[in-house]
């Protein structure tokens, strides 16, 4: 919503600042700010309703040809073809190309939307997603064309939610292809070996859905050579039985819990907040073609100080 309001405000103020009268008699900086608002306002509004990647691709597709035309006309000593705000927007085409390349093949930012990854990631944390480690993908289809490596246990993964691929999710990889995963009364087993946890601590936070404070138990879990904190599932939820979630092929739900055999090219993921996470226990596995990248670093503001933390090995 804040992005929408920012776009609305910039779009509203743009006509005041980028008028011809302001360009002729007013300060140049005001006209420049007006042109910037006229470009960024609609951009922010579009990003509220359309995926930012699609918006950038549209900007490049429309703006790059005009930018090339302007460069050719300038080399031949001719006047500009575009004027005013349109000319300002055209000059931003190389920046759009750069952003598109970086977001497609290098890294992109992701804002954590829920408490499912507490205590490691809170609502609003900014996460840097590494898109190189696992391989390169085509921008729109997300199809892998150059595989470099595969997700490992304990990696924090950003992926498209299999039941609604328009939504990006963030969870931790627990099972890789061929693994046998069991979740018994809140305890986790991988290939018949219980995942060790220790260092029981008290943890408090405010749930963003109910607005009520919660007090849970924090533990340190060790998996795949990595150590990380989790919030213990003291209620050992019903794991989707009796809900609208479909049966999961390869999984068996019973009175004790859940047992799953991870299929090829898929991954079993859990939120670190085990008692408050919609994850593979409910809707199944993450196919490799839905992976966006590996969450590498998180940035948060704590007591007026920026906190920079690595979250995947």
Contact assessment for residue 230 and residue 273, using Cβ atoms and an 8 Å cutoff: yes
116 is catalytic: yes
Query: What CA–CA distance (Å, rounded) separates 66 from 52?
Result: 21
Catalytic position from the list 104, 114, 171, 280: 171
- The arrangement of strands across the sheet holding 187-190 comes to 193-194, 187-190, 180-184, 257-261, 251-253
Catalytic position from the list 104, 115, 116, 280: 116
Give SS3 for 3.
helix
Name the strand (E) or helix (H) holding 17.
helix 2-17
79 is catalytic: no
Task: Please report, for residues 21, 121, 172, 232, the alpha-carbon distance to residue 229 in angstroms, rounded to integers and kept in the order given.
Answer: 60, 10, 11, 9
**What does residue 123 show for φ and ψ, rounded to 5 degrees?**
-60, 130
Query: What CA–CA distance (Å, rounded) separates 289 from 104?
Result: 15
Task: Please report, for residues 135, 176, 179, 306, the alpha-carbon distance to residue 289 in angstroms, rounded to integers and kept in the order given.
Answer: 11, 14, 19, 34
Tokens 């900086």 locate to 29
Catalogue the active-site residues.
116, 171
């Amino acid at each position: 919503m804040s992005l929408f309001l920012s776009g609305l405000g910039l779009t509203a103020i743009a006509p005041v600042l980028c008028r011809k009268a302001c360009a002729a008699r007013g300060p140049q900086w005001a006209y420049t700010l007006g042109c910037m608002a006229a470009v960024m306002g609609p951009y922010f509004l579009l990003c509220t309703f359309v995926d930012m990647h699609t918006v950038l691709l549209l900007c490049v597709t429309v703006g790059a040809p005009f930018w090339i035309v302007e460069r050719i006309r300038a080399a031949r000593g001719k006047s500009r073809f575009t004027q005013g705000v349109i000319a300002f927007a055209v000059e931003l085409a190389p920046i759009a190309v750069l952003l598109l390349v970086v977001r497609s093949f290098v890294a992109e930012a992701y804002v954590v939307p829920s408490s499912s990854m507490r205590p490691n990631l809170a609502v609003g944390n900014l996460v840097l997603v590494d898109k190189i480690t696992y391989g390169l993908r085509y921008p729109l289809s997300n199809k892998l064309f150059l595989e470099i490596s595969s997700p490992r246990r304990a990696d924090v993964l950003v992926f498209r939610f299999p039941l609604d691929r328009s939504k990006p999710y963030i969870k931790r990889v627990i099972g890789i292809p061929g693994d046998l995963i069991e979740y018994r009364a809140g305890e986790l087993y991988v290939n018949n070996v219980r995942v060790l946890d220790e260092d029981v601590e008290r943890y408090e936070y405010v749930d963003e859905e109910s607005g009520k404070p919660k007090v849970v138990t924090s533990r340190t879990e060790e998996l795949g050579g990595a150590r990380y904190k989790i919030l213990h599932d003291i209620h050992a939820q019903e794991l989707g039985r009796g809900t609208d979630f479909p049966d999961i092929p390869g999984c068996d739900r019973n009175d004790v819990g859940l047992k799953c055999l991870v299929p090829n090219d898929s991954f079993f993921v859990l939120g670190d907040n085990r008692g408050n996470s919609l994850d593979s226990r409910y809707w199944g596995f993450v196919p490799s073609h839905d992976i966006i990248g590996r969450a590498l670093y998180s940035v948060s503001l704590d007591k007026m100080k920026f906190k920079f933390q690595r979250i995947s090995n």
